[in-house]
Amino acid sequence: MVVQLENVSLKRDGKWILQDINWQIKKGEHWVLFGLNGSGKTAILNLLNAYNFPTKGKITVLDLEFGKTYLGEKLRKQIGFVSSSLQEKFHPDDNAFEVVLSGAFASIGLYETPTDDIRKNAIALLEELGCMEYANRDYTTLSQGEKQRVLIARALMAHPSLLILDEPTNGLDFIAREQLLESVEKITNKPDAPTIIYVTHHVEEILPAFSKTFLLKKGQVFAAGETKAMISSDTLTQYFNLPVKVQWDNGRPLLSKQTVKETVEMNS
């Protein structure tokens, strides 16, 4: 089991942010964590990365049970975390290659001397993710899509067992989004791919490799299971409390609001 949350609740400033979360992720599974803004997605990610601890319940990530062992760097080196919140933390003079190299040490910034093997690994990842042409450019000068691909390469440097992609296509146009999703798909197809949690509130980003989906609503589990069942017209109509229609094309879902006629036909 890669992730196991048992009756997990989180309280902040007298308010329950998460309540009674149960979630199991097995090795080799790729999950979507789907939720609207304010649903509690960030709170769950902060728990998985041991930035916060639950008010109630039990968390085990990569065989490390919270509260029974020291986590910190030991856990985070096994988790690749990609979030736009990281983008502003790097030194302005760091180039893309240096940002990727820093992933081998789980550090923000490069403070240790990389070995030849670490450099070779970084170059291989930059090539694999299509980043070599801007490897020597300052990270701050890159486009949003280029930054995100560099962050994914950085996250893979330590050969993580769990890769968390936190809304990686935020701020990207259609072309940049699809290029990034192609990179994610390449990772899922590798025989040694880490278990992946893909966090989003856009159903059209869900790739065929993400066969499991966890629907989070107002800090509680709405439903969890096979993606085709979770990302369906019936389930999402209940989730949004709004009549919606899901169509699948080439293994990916498209979401639209149902017309009045479609709603009448569905209810008749």
pLDDT tens by residue, 118-127 = 999 999 999 9
pLDDT tens by residue, 215-242 = 999 999 999 999 999 999 999 999 999 9
Residue 260: per-residue pLDDT: 57
Single pTM value for the model = 0.93
Q: How far is 5 from 151, CA to CA, in rounded Å?
A: 27
What's the average model confidence in pLDDT over 157-168?
95
- Model confidence at 264, in pLDDT bands (50, 70, 90)? very low
Task: Quickly count: other Cβ atoms within 10 Å of residue 104's Cβ.
Answer: 21
Residue 261, pLDDT > 70, answer no
Residue 268, pLDDT > 70, answer no
Q: Higher pLDDT residue, 78 or 265?
A: 78
Residue 86: per-residue pLDDT: 79
Non-local (6+) Cβ contacts of 151 within 8 A are: 82, 83, 86, 87, 99, 168
Q: Higher pLDDT residue, 113 or 56?
A: 56
Q: What percent of the chain has pLDDT over 70?
A: 94
C-alpha triplet 184, 204, 96: angle, nearest 5° = 35
- Model confidence at 113, in pLDDT bands (50, 70, 90)? confident
